[in-house]
Amino acid sequence: MEKVKVVLVKSLIAAKPAQKATAQALGLKKIGDCNVVANDAALAGQIRVIRHLVKVETV
């Protein structure tokens, strides 16, 4: 299965609670944190919620 690297590039300070919870679920806490996860439909939905806060790269 294809994997993607998700990197938090913007702060979560002014983000809505749902966006903060999504970032936490992806394992992103501070700017610069990254996590490699399997690319599937659930991940696509999570990334859509915080697409303005993260950068996504294929691995």
pLDDT band at 25 (very low <50, low <70, confident <90, very high): very high
Using CA atoms of 52, 2, 41, 31 in order, give the dihedral in degrees to the nearest 10: -30
* pTM for the model: 0.91
How high is the pLDDT of residue 49? 96
- Read off the pLDDT of residues 4-22 as tens digits, 9 standing for 90 and up: 999 999 999 999 999 999 9
The torsion region of residue 36 among left (phi > 0), alpha (psi -120 to 50) and beta comes to beta
With contact defined as beta carbons under 8 Å apart, do 51 and 13 qualify? no
* CATH annotation of 3-58: 3.30.1390.20
With contact defined as beta carbons under 8 Å apart, do 28 and 6 qualify? yes
Query: In the predicted model, what is the mean pLDDT of the chain?
Result: 96
Does the structure show a pLDDT above 90 at 1? no
